[in-house]
Chain A
Amino acid sequence: MPKIKVLYWAQAKEAVGKRSEIINLPDGLNVANAVDAIVKRHSELGRIKKQIRIAVNKEVVDDDHKIRDGDELALLPAVAGG
């Protein structure tokens, strides 16, 4: 069972109330499945889910990217730096 680190940033961090957590996921999940599992744990994320992109190990990835044990998955809300 893959164990991953989830990072919450900006609005996601405030919605969830923490910066990061370690979670266990079933085998064979892709990013879209993992996000569904995370939103299920934290229903507050449902509201901003559409605006969130996912980075795995610091690279933005698509929904079908496979999750592996030890991955660092970050929830990135819409950006407005500068």
Chain B
Amino acid sequence: MIRRITRRPIDAGRLIRKVTDKSAGGIVLFVGTVRNTSEAGEVKGIFYEAYKEMAEKRIEQIEEEAKKNWPIKKIAVLHRVGKLKLSEISVAVAVSSAHRKEAFEACRFIIDRIKQDAPIWKKELLKTGTEKWVEGLPISNAASTGT
């Protein structure tokens, strides 16, 4: 299985190279980075935790679904875990296709679904010294999302 969860810093250029394809007319790259503010206040870093085996499986399923919905050439996804500093890359999604429209749409679909469906959690490390798990939505059931 292709690795999709990593402890090491993400090299976005590497993802671009991975999806580069002679038949593609464009590549869309989304890069998520650690922001210095949140609803909880000023943030100095984020700790990411993943149920690795399940998250990699879910991301692979999401990629397959994107390939069914759009004529995509290649997809590469990498999500970081561990303690990240401000501006570090937490997630990167690269999609190549013959025309830009489907690459933009598929990239958006993939990142949105990862945030909703993949068992990955984040804890904000606040400037005040406190730490806070970010509570989003309960994870979706794969059956209810058509995969």
Binding site for B on A (CB under 8 A): 7, 9-11, 14, 51-53, 55, 58-62, 74, 76-82
Q: Which residues of chain B are within 8 angstroms of A82 by Cβ–Cβ distance?
A: 32, 79, 90-91, 111, 114-115, 120
CB distance from A35 to the nearest CB of B (A): 13
Number of interface residues of B (CB under 8 A): 33
18 further contact pairs, Cβ within 8 A, besides A10-B133, A58-B57, A60-B141? A9-B51, A9-B121, A10-B123, A14-B133, A53-B138, A53-B141, A60-B142, A76-B51, A76-B119, A76-B139, A77-B135, A78-B135, A79-B116, A79-B118, A81-B79, A81-B120, A81-B121, A82-B120
* Binary flags per residue of B31-64, CB closer than 8 Å to A gives 1, else 0: 0100000000000000011110110010000000
Q: What chain B residues lie within 8 Å of A11 (beta carbons)? A: 121, 133, 135
A9 CA to B50 CA in the complex, in Å? Answer: 8
- For window 84-103 of B, CB contacts with A under 8 Å fall at 90-91
